Amino acid sequence: MQQGGGSETEVTWEDQQNINKFGRLNNRFHELEDEIKVAKESNDNLEDAGNELILTDEEVVRFQIGEVFAHVPKEEVETRIEEMKEVTSKSLEKLHEEKESVLAQMSELKQILYGKFKDSINLEED
């Protein structure tokens, strides 16, 4: 946080709580970005796996369960992959929603804090 040039603006407990909330939201925002990246990768991998499956001739596919690769018939693997894709896309959607909400709350707080402190506070990414 930037140090002001000896300004006299007092910081109330409410201001402090707003600043704390902004900090928490900012952290959550970064965590969400990472989580979204991971979920997207996982989704893409499942997509690729599904496509490979369609192309393959084999009847039995080695499907990873835990640390081992079990021999599973193709149809079952297809079903499993579909289910996993469902789960990841739902989770991805939820993450995006949360990200939007966090961003909205952050810009609201920015308005309030910049309104009171103007130049004495810096809420941008460094």
Q: Which residues bind other proteins (CB under 8 A)?
A: 1-8, 10-13, 16, 19-20, 23-24, 27, 62, 65-71, 120
Which residues, listed in sequence order, are joined to residue 61 by a DSSP beta bridge? 72
Cβ closest to other proteins, residue 1 vs residue 55: 1
Report residue 11: phi and psi, to 5°: -105, 115
Crossing angle between the packed helical segments 13-55 and 74-117, to the nearest 10 degrees = 160
Q: Cβ 3 to other proteins, closest distance in Å?
A: 5
Q: Cβ 47 to other proteins, closest distance in Å?
A: 21
Q: Cβ 58 to other proteins, closest distance in Å?
A: 14
Quote the CA–CA distance of 46 and 32 in Å, as a whole number: 21
